[in-house]
Chains A and B, each alone.
Chain A
Amino acid sequence: MNKLIFSLLLTGVSFTLHAQKIYSTKTGQIRFNASTALENVAATNNQVDSKMVDKTGQIVFSALIKSFRFDNQLMEDHFNENYLESSKIPKAEFKGFITNAATINFSKDGKYPINIDGSLSLHGVSQKVTASGLMTISGGKPTITGSFKIKIKEYGITGLYIGEKIASEVEITINCAYD
């Protein structure tokens, strides 16, 4: 009898501490646009890996460079071979925090503006990045949309056409629906 009470007590304790939740997706979308008046340079990656923790707001994104799809196959080859050197550095990663995670109620449907702070590792170079976006919670499942801009040169990416046919500042758009 004593044992039973003891067990029930412990069960209760373990449930109350089991509060952190990890949301994840393997089919997130990242688009980038480096188009200029001369050339349409844009690509989409629909296989982005992302995870986040509700309590701490910790968030990570990971994208294979080779999974970015261009309209033009030759442009995709050049992107991988000459610009991003994806055989040497296959992934781009973001590690950061949703700075206002405390203001989000993950169990209540709604739209919450978010700010993300962290570091983006691209082409082997890490740089601080801040982005603002929107978290939509619907049926207990969050979706994050947002965008930010990076300067190509800051990531050690060089090439003849950057600043001419390819914009030197690239807009990156994120759309991830988590489970």
Chain B
Amino acid sequence: MKNITHNNIRVRNVVGAILLACFYFLPIVTSAQNVDLFKQQDEQDKKDAKETTDIVTSTFKTTRIVNSQSIENTGAGILDVKISHRFGLVNTGSYNFYGLDQATMRLGLDYGISNRLEVGIGRSTYNKEFDAFYKFRILRQSTGRAAMPISLSLSSDAVWRTIKDQPTVYAINSSDHFNFTNQLIIARKFGDYFSIQFVPTMVHYNIVPTKATPNDLYSVGTGFRIRLSKRVNFTGEYYYQVTKFQGTYDAMSLGFDIETGGHVFQFFFTNSTGINESSFITQTNSQWSNGGIHLGFNISRVFTVVKHNQ
């Protein structure tokens, strides 16, 4: 009995010594190995690819598709001066030089308060309207650890019509000159070559032409971008009106975005005369089917007001 215990202790001692030796050898083995940073870097890259979140940029090339707001915002501290120009209707014939004799326009200033919040003001020829809007990015499409399939923005636009009122039998209040547009912009970029967005829209008019016409008009906008080359994109938009004013048509535009260094030049055909949200969505009174379209272009020039360089 005594012998057995003694033997056991001996065995334990030997095992203990071996284990101890192993522990002491372990650091020697690891430290004697040459550190290879190149290998470490490659492993890190693989890990990073899984762990980092990559926010998708340039879903659209600029903050408007043609008339409509796109999902894009003006960068923080950037002032964007926009000149939007529409010639007359193509179907007015050779006497009007196919619309080129006439023009309506909107002058606008957009500013990025942060990378998520953009505000802007504008003045349009059509109905002599002033407008002011904000656009706030709620969700940003991303891949990687925090993957987000879509981008989402909220935008509201207020319009003040200043054209002289037609004579009416009822009194017109100053509040009657205002209308408001609220939009939710849902967008997704599919690779470098294709982006699409859907824009559920509500336009509220403080005054409408007839009692039967609702004050709130609902519509759904769509917009797309197809990349033709590094600098040229084919774009289009269409607003389907669920409820609408009598004698108006759905707005549709097709055109090209051309990137020229620091700015984007857009030229296109559209059946809308008005350029701010409520006028192009709900007051488009000409149609594509009989050539009631305008040739138009948007030019924008950006100025850095606040540098965001760290």
Contacts and interface: CB of A to CB of B under 8 A. Distances in A.
Contacts of A93: 41, 45
A161 B230 CA distance: 13
B27 A14 contact: yes
Contact of B34 (A39, A43, A56, A74): A56
B78 A95 contact: no
Interface in B81-137: 112, 115
Interface stretch (A65-73, A109-117, A128-136): A65-73
Contact of B78 (A60, A72, A165): A72
B193 to A, nearest CB: 12
A37 B14 CA distance: 79
A74 B54 contact: no
A60 B58 contact: no
A59 interface: yes
A73 B75 contact: yes
Contacts of A78: 259
Contacts of B55: 66
A60 B41 contact: yes
Nearest to A90: B54
Size range of the interface on B? 35 or more
Given A14-B27, A46-B310, A72-B302, A81 B41 contact: no
Nearest to A18: B31
Interface string B9-53: 000000011001100110110011011111011001100110010
A52 B21 CA distance: 32
A7 B20 contact: yes
A173 interface: no
Interface in A148-179: 159-161, 165
Contact of A72 (B49, B54, B58, B304): B304
Contacts of B58: 77, 80-81
Interface of B: prevailing SS: mixed
B231 interface: yes
Nearest to B300: A74
Interface string A15-26: 001111010000
B307 interface: yes
B78 A14 contact: no
B37 A71 contact: no
A58 B36 contact: yes
A73 B308 contact: yes
A1 interface: no
Nearest to A9: B24
Interface residues of A, number: 49
Contacts of B32: 17
B61 to A, nearest CB: 9
Contacts of B243: none
Contact of B261 (A10, A17, A91, A165): A165
A132 to B, nearest CB: 21
Given A46-B310, A82-B230, A95-B41, A72 B28 contact: no
Given A20-B31, A80-B57, A160-B231, A69 B20 contact: no
Contact of A10 (B24, B36, B263): B24
Interface in A88-147: 90-91, 93, 95
Contacts of A71: 304, 307-309
A157 B220 CA distance: 40
Max chain A Cβ within 10 angstroms of own Cβ: one of B24, B44, B45: B24
B262 interface: yes
Given A93-B41, A165-B261, A18 B309 contact: no
A154 to B, nearest CB: 19
A35 interface: no
Interface string B262-297: 110000000000000000000000000000000000
B186 interface: no
A44 B24 CA distance: 46
A59 B24 CA distance: 30
- What 4 A-B pairs come out closest when comparing CB atoms? A73-B75, A10-B24, A18-B31, A14-B27
Interface of A: 3, 6-7, 10-11, 13-14, 17-20, 22, 39, 43-44, 46, 49, 51-53, 56, 58-60, 62, 64, 66, 69-78, 80-82, 87, 90-91, 93, 95, 159-161, 165
21 contacts: A6-B20, A14-B25, A22-B35, A39-B261, A43-B309, A46-B310, A53-B37, A58-B35, A58-B36, A58-B38, A60-B40, A69-B310, A71-B304, A72-B78, A74-B263, A77-B57, A77-B58, A77-B75, A80-B57, A80-B58, A81-B57
